[in-house]
Structure formats: structure tokens, C-alpha cells
Chains A and B, each alone.
Chain A
Amino acid sequence: MLTVSGLKRLHIRVSFDLQDGECVVLQGPSGVGKTLLLRSIADLDPNEGAVKLDGRLRETMPAPAWRKQVTYLAAEPGWWSDTVQKHFTTWDDALPLVKCLRLPDSCGSWPIQRLSTGERQRLALVRALVLQSRVLLLDEPTSALDAASVAAVESVIAERVAEGASVIWSTHDDAQARRVGSRILRMNTGGGIEECRS
């Protein structure tokens, strides 16, 4: 279970719990701080508050170990190497997911520039999924995808949730929010969140 209590970052003041095997949707107008909140939970920006995984404070472990369990996926993924497979420890482990997300098998050797925006978004998701993290913080993970790919992503994530992973999913798509989330956390301009059951 992920426990967020009294998390403070700029104007954001947030507390909530996230059960194992639960997918919560994060909504709110653009610029309200959804990305800031997700980044703060992953400890990518300096922030205050107690964030725990199964009762264990994140400060008690090295930040890389925390992020391997509580993994943030940016809306616009970054690439530090020139070809696709250099971003994976073992490309073969990624292949089943690559197929599931309707990406070509051969894309491992492709240069990053050859990928479309949608392909990049899905590959970044694969890159995060191979870590088998306990908590996934997904920042608009389907914003650049066509309907078929959106469905593929939703079913892959649903599978992970069924296996016990927790997910916070930020989206502007209300229909998607109702499809994937068991709860909806709505962020307001004051930096707080209120919960509405879907």
C-alpha cells in the first residue's frame, strides 16, 4: 500500500492512500499540478511530507531503489541513447510487451528518430513496465495514441492491476477515467484533491 500524507510541493497539499491492486485516476484542468504531484511521489523534485510503501518511508531507501518500485512515466518520454534497445537492460524481456502494445518486433534496432510520437509513448511504457514496479505513476500515458493502441495499453495496465500493482493514472479523457479507475481524485487549483467515486 502506498501512503501519501501531508505531501507539500509549491502550492500542492495532498494526502491519500493507494491500495495494492487499485487503479486511481487523477484528473483536473491543465496546469493544476498533476505532473508535479506524480513527480513528487517519485521523489524527482524536492518536496516535503511522508510517502510510504507498505509503511516504509521512502527516505529509508536510496532514491533509485524507491523509483524502481514507485515508477513515474512522463507524458513526454526522454531517450538517452540512439537506438531503442539500448534503453533496455535485456531487450528480449521487453518483446512480449512490445507485441502486446502493437509495436513492430523489429523496432529494437531502430534509431529513436524513426519512431512516431505514439510509438515513443508506448515504448516508454514498455521501458517502465519491465521494471515490474509495485506502483506506476502514469502521466497521460495514452495522449498520443489511436483507439486500438489505447485499448491495448488499458488492457496491459488492467492485467498489472489484477496482479496486484497500484496505479495512479492521470488523464483528461472522462470516458477513459471511468473505464480504468476505481476512484477518481480530482485536483483543484488550490493544490488539494477531492475524491469522487466513479
Chain B
Amino acid sequence: MPVVTYIPLAYGDLVLPALLVVMDAALSLVLQLKLEKQLVVATIRMVVQLVLVGYVLTFLFAAVSPLWTALAAFVMVLFASREIVARQKRRLPGVWSYGLGAGCTLLAAGTVTMFALLTQLRPEPWYHPRYALPLLGMILGNTMTGISLGLDVLITGLVRERAAIEACLALGGTRYQAVLPVVRDALRSGFTPIMNSMAAIGLVSLPGMMTGQILAGVEPVDAAKYQLLIMFLIAGGTGLGTLAAVLGGAHLLTDQRHRLRLDRISTGEPA
């Protein structure tokens, strides 16, 4: 094992880099971009959130309690599903607006994280938050993108292709036959970002986790292996989550009598 070395930062070391944000704000003022207020809010949120997360993780790592870890994971899934709902122009009815996104994210990200913890990484104990939470976080972020894109394309497509879907239904097609073209489009959109990032990774962008490990003194090749593991997990999680969400959404927007139920879509604020 090589000795892991990294350069720790004090809070004071961050003052100088923070001046760069002040420079951005000054630019916004001079050029009248009217972004100052947003920039200040975003910066403050970032600082508070990250520092808080640092302390929360410190506590969790010291506790190594399955209960606290599960709670943290649950909160992460909640935020992810809130983000999914916020990205939809048109929403699913009632509890499903949150329920479907949350359920599918939990199912996909949860399954894949467990899979990695139990078969590949095998930390002691397996739910050790030091492994479970960062892993879940990375998979969650990407699964969320796939699900929200997939659902958005699904719902927009069902509305746009209404005449075609109902023509198929009127001629005796089942609801599955009728929505299949739209479902295919939605799945394709959900899968595209992860494929693009797999193709571009390392050339255009050095992924955040790998960068972090390299900064922390890990050998680049070892960091690359870790990154590969993560990418495979993300690809699996996105596929699973998008599939479940799109099929679930298609099921909710049709009914037992094979009707297209666009009346179930709400455009207002979620309940």
C-alpha cells in the first residue's frame, strides 16, 4: 500500500478562492446582469450545505449505526424525488407525482448500491456509511436525471401523440401497443445522458470522484478502477430506474379499459 498523502485545507485557505465569486458578483453589477442576488444566495447555500454535510458525515462515520445511515439515505432519496418533480412541466396525479419518482429512485439506486456493497466493496460492516452514502449519492444523482428526463418525455409525448395513440386504441389495440412508440422515446431519452458521459469520460471531463481520489493521493490507475466501478453501477441504476419510472408512468396514464387518461395529468403545483 502506498502512503496516502493529501494537503489539508484550513477555512482561512478558502478566503482567497472565495474572492473569485466576489469578482463574479462585481461583473454582474458592472454589466447589469442582475445575477448578484441569486449568486449571493447560491453561494451562501453552497457553503452552509457543504459544511453541514461535512459535519453530518463525520457524525455518521463515528456512529456507524444502520439506523442513522438508513435515515440519511432516506433523506437523500426524498431530495432526489423532489428534484424529479420540480423538473416536470406536467405532473402525475396526487401522491404519484412524488411517489413514482421516489419509488423508482429508491428501487434502482438502492438495489445497485446494495449490490456493490455486498459483492464488490464488502466493507465491514456492509452498511458502513463511509461507503454506502457516497456510493448512493453518486448513483442517486444520475438515476434521478434519467428518471426525470424519461418521465418528462413520456408525459409530453403522450400529450403530443394523443391522436395516434387513440387511433391505435380505437382500432382495438391494447394500451401497451398504443403507448409503445412513446415509451421507446422516453426510455431512449432517459438512457442517453449516461451513455454520453461514458463516451466522453476521461477525454472531455475527469470525473469528480476520480479527481478527488487522485487529490487524496490514490494512484491514478486505482482511481480509474474505482471510477469504472461507479460508472457501471450508475449505468445499471439509471437503466433500472428509468425503465421502472417510464413503465409505471405509462401504466398510470392509461386505465384497465385501455383508455388514454390524460385527464390524470396535473399542470399545477403538486399536491
* Contact surface of A with B, Cβ cutoff 8 Å: 42-46, 62-65, 67-68, 71-74, 76-81, 124, 127-128, 131
| A78/B171 in contact, CB under 8 A | no
| B259/A67 in contact, CB under 8 A | no
Is B172 engaged at the interface, CB distance under 8 Å to the other chain? yes
| A44/B169 in contact, CB under 8 A | yes
Is B220 engaged at the interface, CB distance under 8 Å to the other chain? no
| B167/A67 in contact, CB under 8 A | no
Min CB–CB distance B98 → chain A (angstroms): 25
| B257/A43 in contact, CB under 8 A | yes
A70 to B111, CA, bound (A): 46
| B259/A74 in contact, CB under 8 A | no
Min CB–CB distance A129 → chain B (angstroms): 11
Can you list 12 contacts pairing A with B, beta carbon distance less than 8 Å? A63-B258, A67-B170, A67-B171, A68-B172, A76-B163, A78-B162, A78-B163, A79-B167, A80-B167, A81-B181, A127-B167, A128-B171
| A78/B258 in contact, CB under 8 A | no
| B167/A131 in contact, CB under 8 A | no
A159 to B245, CA, bound (A): 48
| A131/B171 in contact, CB under 8 A | yes
Min CB–CB distance B193 → chain A (angstroms): 26
* Contact surface of B with A, Cβ cutoff 8 Å: 161-174, 178, 181, 255-261
A68 to B172, CA, bound (A): 5
| B165/A45 in contact, CB under 8 A | no
Residues A71 and B259 in contact in the complex (CB < 8 Å), given A78-B162, A80-B161: no
Min CB–CB distance A182 → chain B (angstroms): 25
A-B contact sample (6 more), CB < 8 A, given A79-B164, A127-B167: A63-B257, A67-B170, A74-B163, A78-B164, A78-B165, A80-B178
Q: Which 4 A-B pairs have the closest CB atoms?
A: A78-B163, A68-B172, A78-B167, A78-B164
Residues A74 and B169 in contact in the complex (CB < 8 Å), given A63-B259, A80-B181: no
A167 to B168, CA, bound (A): 20
| A72/B164 in contact, CB under 8 A | no
Q: Please indicate the chain B residues that have their CB under 8 angstroms from the CB of A77 in the complex.
A: 163, 167
Q: Choose from A62, A71, A74, A128 the contact partner of B166 (Cβ within 8 Å).
A: A74
Query: Which residue of chain A lies nearest to B257 when distances are taken between CB atoms in the complex?
Result: A63
Min CB–CB distance A98 → chain B (angstroms): 17
Q: Please indicate the chain B residues that have their CB under 8 angstroms from the CB of A44 in the complex.
A: 166, 169-170, 259-260
Q: Please indicate the chain B residues that have their CB under 8 angstroms from the CB of A79 in the complex.
A: 163-164, 167
Q: Please indicate the chain B residues that have their CB under 8 angstroms from the CB of A46 in the complex.
A: 255, 257, 259, 261
A124 to B171, CA, bound (A): 10
Q: Please indicate the chain A residues that have their CB under 8 angstroms from the CB of B167 in the complex.
A: 74, 77-80, 124, 127
Residues A72 and B161 in contact in the complex (CB < 8 Å), given A44-B259, A45-B259, A62-B258: no
A44 to B169, CA, bound (A): 8
Q: Please indicate the chain A residues that have their CB under 8 angstroms from the CB of B172 in the complex.
A: 64-65, 67-68, 71, 131
Q: Please indicate the chain A residues that have their CB under 8 angstroms from the CB of B173 in the complex.
A: 64
A44 to B261, CA, bound (A): 9
A135 to B178, CA, bound (A): 22
A131 to B257, CA, bound (A): 20
Min CB–CB distance A141 → chain B (angstroms): 13
A128 to B167, CA, bound (A): 9
A81 to B178, CA, bound (A): 11
Q: Please indicate the chain A residues that have their CB under 8 angstroms from the CB of B257 in the complex.
A: 43, 46, 63
Min CB–CB distance B265 → chain A (angstroms): 15
| A43/B259 in contact, CB under 8 A | yes
A47 to B261, CA, bound (A): 13
| B170/A80 in contact, CB under 8 A | no
| B165/A80 in contact, CB under 8 A | yes
